[in-house]
Chain A
Amino acid sequence: MKREVAIISVGATRFGEHWDKGIKDLAWEAGVKAVEEAGISGRDIQYIVFGNMSGGMFEGQEHVGALVADFLGLNPVPAARVEAACASGSVAFFHGYMAVASGMYDLVAVGGVEKMTDVESSRATEILAAAMDYEWEAYFGNTFPGVYALMATRYMHEYGLKPETLAKVAVKNHHHGSMNPMAHFRNRITVEDVLSSPVVAYPLRRNDCCPVSDGAACVILAPLEEARKYTDTPIKVEAVAQASDTLSLLERRDICTLDATVQAAEKAFAKAKLTRKDVDLVEVHDCFTIAEILALEDLGFCPKGEAQKLYEEGETYVGGKLPVNTDGGLKAGGHAVGATGVKQIIEIVKQLRGEAENGRQVDGAEVGLAHNVGGSGATAVVTILSRR
């Protein structure tokens, strides 16, 4: 790579039910906030890349790259939409990173947007299922809750995981989300609340599953050496790494491991020249509670089968050994699929700048990691950021 890259500004909408906003309004709000924070003119942006999973099926709206550029009033800047299911946002980030690192552009707006609540939840489930291997999985009626339930039951069989422990993932994420004004859900819940919520796909109950949300997020990237022109607190992109795996679960080596996450994490840590011990907090892809358990293991923070201990001991709360999803994650923070990857990165940026709200700020955070998954693990992106 020719150049180091920094994040100079961030902007996002709250994740939630934005009944009065469409794709354009959401993307506009996040984009304008990021441009304003950078203190630049929109005209200074040389390239826009946005993640969006399925504007076509959710809204009948494709061509989202140009749409964002147009609505932000930035024509004729080149703009692209990137799709990698729920990892669309971080794959967009990967592309923006490459554009700056390669020297092609100096100021790049990277974002993600999804408008999901204009369709009924049954239709949203169908649309999301398009991120599976359609012929092998969705065609036969499986859904993402179903796929993750298969992983969870296998994991329970192999490693003795209990539903109570899964519930603790959701309880912790709601606890963090309650302190985050941008979160979809701000209510605290108990293990009992989770265990008494209706079963969606055993062992996953409603409170094991993240919501569908509307939302957008945007960050602006610049070469690290020029970043201080725009901000006193540039956040360095230490590494971005992406890996792919089979779309269908049945072709996996082990359904309790997301190999794409393992691969992306190895590459990212090697590029960053950092170890797991250097990481002060992580944002992981908890579309379902089981996914958060798998992620901590696949990222290498603990051996397979042992992440449950962290939850039994409360070590994933702010103040614990490894704070996880300090913004509430996908479960409480919300999941606007195409925007989630960028929202996770924004949470790390806020933490490294020391700007998170009282009670959820990780003291003295220097290095943070974001982990975003597409589908059941066919795409994984690991991003490591620092304030070095």
Chain B
Amino acid sequence: MSVGIVGYGVYIPRFRIKVEEIARVWGHDAASYREGLGIEEKSVPSLDEDTTTIAVEASRNAMKRAVEVKPQDVGAVFVGSESHPYAVKPTASTVAEVLGLTPNLTAVDMEFACKAATTAVQACLGLVKAGYIGYGISVGADTAQGAPGDALEYTAAAGGAAYVIGSGDGVIAEVECTQSFTQDVPDFWRRDGASYPKHAGRFTGGPAYFEHVVSCTKALLEKMGTTPKDYDYVVFHQPNSKFPLKAAKILGFEEDKLKPGLLVNLLGNTYSGSSLMGLAAVLDIARPGERILLTSYGSGAGSDSFSIRVRDAIDSKRELAPPVMYYLERREYIDYSTYARYRRLFKER
């Protein structure tokens, strides 16, 4: 039985702040951040948006494409995030309730820095394949935190992507194989009660992101007996533009295969949503028969790789929900003071 994606959807908040505006406030050299990170602007959630609302919007869009799925056939909702509004009380149950999927399903929040949602996809694939559930929904959503003035503030963005996983003729993209790679690596963390994550500077590169993304992708290729040439698109976790471009180069993927799913320069890093948002942008344009390689990365540290083959059903479902570009182009620029209010950098009254 082949299993895979039967529906996908994304959501990106409307507001944007430019690198120049953040740099202006902190007295930083905007050009060096723009070039160093390969980023122009990032999305900002409004006052009334959080991981739950973003996850709901993205899941609704995913369900719009999953036309054959009846609410009672969804057996699981998993929400991967590192900015769940509650430390205790799940985001996933709210999402399930709003979507009208309750009560006969399981739901849980997941956390593994930026890769929790791809792990949730793996969990859904397993449950579907084993026959425990008909369909499962995996969501990656974040209102990412970056301490004011820290390099992270230039990229920490908001957005989410949701995937309905199932089987049958409605599969628009079959997951041929998945592979993971995990080690205990302290490159980026946020302790309980802390408002902002900390990171280990340059250590987040070589021994963290690249070690895991490259090793995991290689392991998948080896397991599949495929090479970069066998894929039409490649998507990596994108904390900035530089990292995925370099990973593609190391692994031997042409830049043209990476570009369609590389959104970080205009979106920022949506953390748990990052690589799955990139995959959605590729699904927005991919043709039946094309192959996509996806590798996520989560600090702490691990990667999940997927070999995906696009199927015929994509053509009939693509137009049923807004594409990534719709949300990327729907933007309104704000200045740092408005940003500070929306991100609650200072308290009201």
Is B29 part of the binding interface, using a Cβ–Cβ cutoff of 8 Å?
yes
CB-nearest residue of chain A relative to B187? A19
Q: How large is the interface on B (under 10, 10 to 19, 20 to 34, 35 or more residues)?
A: under 10
Segment 161-203 of B: residues with Cβ below 8 Å from A: 200-203
- With contacts A17-B206, A19-B207 taken as known, whether A120 is within 8 angstroms of B32 at the C-beta atoms is no
Assembly CA distance A19 to B202 (angstroms): 10
Interchain CB contact under 8 A, B201 and A120: yes
Interchain CB contact under 8 A, A20 and B207: yes
> What's the A-B contact tally at a CB cutoff of 8 Å?
16
Interchain CB contact under 8 A, B29 and A19: no
Give A102 Cβ to nearest chain B Cβ, in Å: 44
Give A19 Cβ to nearest chain B Cβ, in Å: 4
Chain A CB within 10 Å, residue with most, of B32, B202, B206: B202
Query: Which residues of chain B come closer than 8 Å to A121, judged between CB atoms?
Result: 201-202
Interchain CB contact under 8 A, B29 and A198: yes
Give B321 Cβ to nearest chain A Cβ, in Å: 43
Give A204 Cβ to nearest chain B Cβ, in Å: 14
Assembly CA distance A198 to B200 (angstroms): 22
CB-nearest residue of chain A relative to B211? A19
Assembly CA distance A198 to B203 (angstroms): 21
Interchain CB contact under 8 A, B206 and A19: yes
Assembly CA distance A19 to B206 (angstroms): 9
| Binary B-proximity of A1-45 (CB < 8 A = 1, otherwise 0) | 000000000000000010110000000000000000000000000
Is A117 part of the binding interface, using a Cβ–Cβ cutoff of 8 Å?
yes
Give A127 Cβ to nearest chain B Cβ, in Å: 14
Interchain CB contact under 8 A, B202 and A117: yes
Chain A CB within 10 Å, residue with most, of B200, B201, B207: B201
Give B6 Cβ to nearest chain A Cβ, in Å: 42
**B31, B32, B203: which contacts A19 (Cβ < 8 A)?**
B203
Q: How large is the interface on A (under 10, 10 to 19, 20 to 34, 35 or more residues)?
A: under 10
Give B207 Cβ to nearest chain A Cβ, in Å: 4
Query: Which residues of chain B come closer than 8 Å to A19, judged between CB atoms?
Result: 203, 206-207
CB-nearest residue of chain B relative to A120? B201
Query: Which residues of chain A come closer than 8 Å to B202, judged between CB atoms?
Result: 17, 117, 121
Describe A's contact surface by its main secondary structure. loop
Give A120 Cβ to nearest chain B Cβ, in Å: 5
Interchain CB contact under 8 A, B32 and A198: yes
Give A126 Cβ to nearest chain B Cβ, in Å: 14
CB-nearest residue of chain A relative to B201? A120
Chain B CB within 10 Å, residue with most, of A19, A20, A117, A199: A19
Give A117 Cβ to nearest chain B Cβ, in Å: 7
Assembly CA distance A147 to B257 (angstroms): 47
Assembly CA distance A121 to B200 (angstroms): 10
Give A309 Cβ to nearest chain B Cβ, in Å: 32
| Binary B-proximity of A196-231 (CB < 8 A = 1, otherwise 0) | 001100000000000000000000000000000000
Assembly CA distance A199 to B29 (angstroms): 9
Query: Which residues of chain B come closer than 8 Å to A117, judged between CB atoms?
Result: 202-203
Query: Which residues of chain B come closer than 8 Å to A199, judged between CB atoms?
Result: 29
Give A118 Cβ to nearest chain B Cβ, in Å: 8
Give A181 Cβ to nearest chain B Cβ, in Å: 18
Segment 120-137 of A: residues with Cβ below 8 Å from B: 120-121
Assembly CA distance A17 to B206 (angstroms): 9
Give B35 Cβ to nearest chain A Cβ, in Å: 9
Give B285 Cβ to nearest chain A Cβ, in Å: 35
Query: Which residues of chain A come closer than 8 Å to B32, judged between CB atoms?
Result: 198
Give A122 Cβ to nearest chain B Cβ, in Å: 9
Segment 140-170 of B: residues with Cβ below 8 Å from A: none
Give A55 Cβ to nearest chain B Cβ, in Å: 19
Query: Which residues of chain B come closer than 8 Å to A17, judged between CB atoms?
Result: 202, 206
Assembly CA distance A117 to B204 (angstroms): 12
Query: Which residues of chain A come closer than 8 Å to B29, judged between CB atoms?
Result: 198-199
Give B81 Cβ to nearest chain A Cβ, in Å: 27
Give A196 Cβ to nearest chain B Cβ, in Å: 9
Segment 86-123 of A: residues with Cβ below 8 Å from B: 117, 120-121
Assembly CA distance A19 to B186 (angstroms): 11
Give A297 Cβ to nearest chain B Cβ, in Å: 32
Give A20 Cβ to nearest chain B Cβ, in Å: 7
Assembly CA distance A197 to B29 (angstroms): 11
Give B300 Cβ to nearest chain A Cβ, in Å: 15
CB-nearest residue of chain B relative to A197? B32
Segment 173-215 of A: residues with Cβ below 8 Å from B: 198-199
Question: Can you pick out 16 interface pairs between chain A and chain B where the beta carbons lie within 8 Å of each other?
Answer: A17-B202, A17-B206, A19-B203, A19-B206, A19-B207, A20-B207, A117-B202, A117-B203, A120-B200, A120-B201, A121-B201, A121-B202, A198-B29, A198-B31, A198-B32, A199-B29
Interface residues of B (CB under 8 A from A): 29, 31-32, 200-203, 206-207
| 7 closest A-B pairs by CB | A19-B207, A198-B32, A120-B201, A198-B29, A19-B203, A121-B201, A19-B206
A117-B202, A199-B29 given; 12 more Cβ-contact pairs under 8 Å = A17-B202, A17-B206, A19-B206, A19-B207, A20-B207, A117-B203, A120-B200, A120-B201, A121-B201, A198-B29, A198-B31, A198-B32
